[in-house]
Amino acid sequence: MTNGLKKDILNNTYINTNTMKTKVILLAATLFVALGGKSFAQDECTTLGSLFTAPAKAKNYQGALQHYGPLVEKCPTWSVAVYQYGSKMFEDLIEKGDKSKIADLEKNLRLRMQHFPSKTKEGREMANIAQIKYEAGIGTKMDQFQEFDAAFKKDEETFTSPKSLYTYFSLAVDLQEEGKMDIQEVFNLYDTIIDKLEKEEIELSGKLTKLIEKEDSGTALTSKEKKYLSAYETNLGAYGKVKGSVNGKLGILADCPNLIPLYERLYEEKKNDVNWLKSAAGKLNSKDCETPMFFKMVQQLHTLEPSAKSAFYLGKLAERDGNGSKAMEYYNQAAELETTPKDKARVYYTIAENMRKKGSLSSARSYYNKALEQNPSLGRAYLRIANMYASSANNCGSTAFEKRAIYWKAAEMADRAARVDGSIASNARQTAASYRGRAPQKSDIFSSGMAGKTITFNCWVGGSVRVPNL
C-alpha cells in the first residue's frame, strides 16, 4: 500500500503506519528526555554541591554562602552534609556579628529535619539555636526559656550541652524572681536538670572507668582510646561544673528557711500527691532541714506508697534518733527496692558513711564500691576511700617507709575521684598532691633502696603499691 497505509490481514482493515512511527518516536523521545533529564539534574546537583561544600570545608563561609541558596532550592535532598556545613556557616557568620543569619540557621534546621529526620538530633540542634538566640539577646526571657523548654521536651535524649542545660535552668530562676514563674515549677525543673546531668555523668564515667582500669592494669591504650579518655574527662568536668552552677543558681530559694514554710503552706493541699511528697522530702533531706514536716512527709509517703524512697527516709530518721540498727534495716531495704542506678548508689553511699563513722572501714569501703558500681561518677566515694587509707597509715606496715607508702595508694584514689567527678576535681587533685607530699620522697627511696620494689599491705587496706623508680 501507499500513503503510509498497510493492510491488517487478520482484521481486514488498514493501519496508518505514519501515525505508528510518530507514536514510537514520541515515546522514545519522552524516555530519552526523562532519563537524560534525570542525569542532567544529578550532574547539576553534584556541581552545585561541590561549589558549596568545597569552600565550606575550608571555612571560607563568605565564598560558600552564595552557593547555599541555589543548592537547597534545587537539590534539598542531595546530602545531609549541606545542612551540617550550613549550620557551621551560619553560626560563624552570627558569631561575627550578623544576627540576621539566625533566621537562616533556623530555616536550615527545618530543612534538615524535613529531608533528613533520621540523621538529625533535634534536641541538640534546637538547643543550639536557643543558646545562640539567648547569647544574641533575641526575645524576652520567657521567649528564650520557651525555646529551651521546647527543645528539651522535643528530644531530651540529645539535649546534652552542659552550657544549654545551665542556661535553661538559669532562665527559670530569673523568671521566678521576676514573678513570672511559680517556685514549684523551678523546683520541678531543678529535679529534671539534675537527673539529666547525673544520667550523662553515669554514662560517661562508666566508659571512662573501663579505660582507666585497662590503663591501670598495664595494658596500653590505643590512640583512639586515649582520645576517648581525654574527651570523657573533659565532658565529665563540664557536667560537674554545671551541676555546681545549677545548685549555686538555685541558691537561697532551696535553703531551709524558704523550703520549710513553703512546704508547710502546701502540705494539706499536696499531701496525697506522691510525686510532690517525693520531691519535697528529697529537698528537705538533701538540705538536712531539721523540721517535724520532714517526718510528717515521710510517714505520709510510706503510707501512700511504701517504696525505696520512703524506706530510705525512714532510715535517715531512725539514724537521727540514734537507732542505728533500725536505720541499717531501712537502708538495706531501700537498696533492695531501688531500681535506678543513681538512687541505689545514694543508698549504698549512706550505708558506707554509717559504717565509716562506726570505724568499720573495710565494710565502709565495700559499700562505697557498691555505690561506685551503680554510679561510677560518684567521686566523693573514691575520696572517702582515699581518706580512710590515709588515716590508716600507722596501722599498715612494719617500717616507717612502709607506713608512709600507704599515701601513694590514697593519692591514687584521690586522682580517680578527680577524673570521674568534675564537681570535686579541684579538691580531689589538691588532696592527691597532699598525700603524695606525705609519701616517701626521692631521698627516702634512695636511702631505703626500695626503688621499683612492691610493697604489700597486710592490714584491712590490702593490695600493694609499686615504689617509683628514681
Q: Where are the domains of the chain?
A: 15-197, 253-466
DSSP, res 11? T
Superfamily in which the 253-466 domain is placed by CATH: Tetratricopeptide repeat domain (1.25.40.10)
Residue-wise pLDDT tens digits, 399-452: 999 999 999 999 999 999 999 998 899 999 999 999 999 999 999 999 999 999
pLDDT, position 48:
93
DSSP, res 16? E
This prediction's pTM: 0.74
Residue-wise pLDDT tens digits, 56-74: 999 999 999 999 999 999 9
CA distance 330 to 310: 9
Confidence of residue 39 (pLDDT cuts 50, 70, 90): low
Of 168, 127, 163, the residue nearest 145 (C-alpha): 168
Confidence of residue 6 (pLDDT cuts 50, 70, 90): very low
Neighbours of 308 (CB within 10 A): 19
Count Cβ atoms within 10 A of the Cβ of residue 174 and give its class: 0-12 exposed, 13-18 middle, 19 or more buried.
middle
Residue-wise pLDDT tens digits, 250-308: 888 888 998 999 899 999 999 999 989 988 998 898 888 888 999 899 989 989 988 88
Write out the E strands in 12-122: 13-16
As a whole-number percent, the residues of the chain with pLDDT over 70 amount to 91
Q: Using the predicted structure, report yes or no on whether residue 17 has a pLDDT greater than 70.
A: no
Identical fold between 15-197 and 253-466: yes
CATH top-level class of 15-197: mainly alpha
Compute the mean pLDDT over every residue in the chain, rounded to the nearest whole number. 89
CA distance 61 to 67: 10
Buried b (16+ CB within 10 A) or exposed e, 328-348: bebbebbbebbeebbbbbbbb
Looking at residues 444-470, what average pLDDT do you find? 92
